[in-house]
Structure 1
Amino acid sequence: MLNFFKSAPRLTAAEAVSRAGAGKLTLIDVREPGELAATGRAQGALHVPLMVLRMKCDPASPECLPELSTDKPVAVYCASGGRSQMAAQVLTSLGYREVHNIGGLFDWQAAGGAISR
């Protein structure tokens, strides 16, 4: 069983912006489609809603996104950090070695991260 009260390692949003910009980090937005339509998403982020995360990120699944690798660091975010914490734990359980919860989209934007609409 997952322990949703245990925190994932956390990068600062500024560190995430820098590492994602250098191609050293895969960024995943776990919000719902309507949220993306309303606010946009972090530039370069993959959109994988929390409800389909296990299917789309499990290396054993035929639906796994080809952009993902368990060996490359991953950072997840949502609106405020709650869903991204759950997502971080799911990814860790799937074998991703370095997973970070960077909080919410606002944290990314406040650190100078670009938004795509």
Structure 2
Amino acid sequence: MTLTLKDMMAAANAVIERIDAARAQELMRQGALLLDIRDAPEIEKTGRARGSHHIARGMLEFRADPDSPFYDAELRKDRPIVLHCASGGRAALAGKLLRDMGYSRVYNLGGLKDWAEGGGAVDEPIDAGM
């Protein structure tokens, strides 16, 4: 059977808890990593959640595997990870991927807008000087 996006989203949402900004901030105070998985042009355009770490969704597998030469030490299997993207879809899929890779405490915050509307600080985009 061929998987569809709908199937993948349902599977991801079934195993990755969706949390609000207040819970994300609480987890961060306890040492969780807030991980922005949007592409660089999105961050340049809209800014980023203060205190977030960035790994583009397309590089996540490479950055999350300790045996990869591209491993990012901010990702640790003993550390909670709160993911966000623009609206929550990629964060859910990325959360499922991390779960499949052995990361057990993974959460979906949704989008940058959810963070900002929940009182999270946002660092504004860098002015390109144009």
TM over 0.5: yes
What is the aligned partner in structure 1 of residue 23 from structure 2? Answer: 15
Letter in 2 for 1:79: A
5+ residue gaps, structure 1: none
1:5 aligns with 2:13: no
Which amino acid is 1:103 matched to? Answer: G
Larger Rg: 2
User: For the Cα contact (< 8 Å) 1:14–1:111, is it kept in 2?
Assistant: yes
Show CA shifts across 1:26-85 (max 9, x none). 111011111000111111111111111100111221211111211111010000001111
- For residues 29 and 77 of structure 1, what CA distance do their matches in structure 2 show? 5
The unaligned stretches of length 5 or more in structure 2 are 125-130
Residue 75 of structure 2, aligned match among 62, 68, 88: 68
* Farther-moved stretch of structure 1 (7-16 vs 28-37): 7-16
Rounded to whole Å, the distance in 1 between the matches of 2:121 and 2:27 is: 13
Contact 1:17 1:112 (8 Å CA) reproduced: no
Q: How does 1:25-40 map to 2 (within 5 A)?
A: 25-40=32-47
TM-score (norm 2): 0.82
1:112 is aligned to 2:119? yes
Amino acid at match of 1:16: A
More helix by share: 2
Sequence identity percentage: 37
- Calculate the TM-score normalised by the size of structure 1: 0.91
Contact 2:18 2:109 in 1 (8 A): yes
Aligned with 2:62: secondary structure?
Answer: helix
RMSD: 1.6
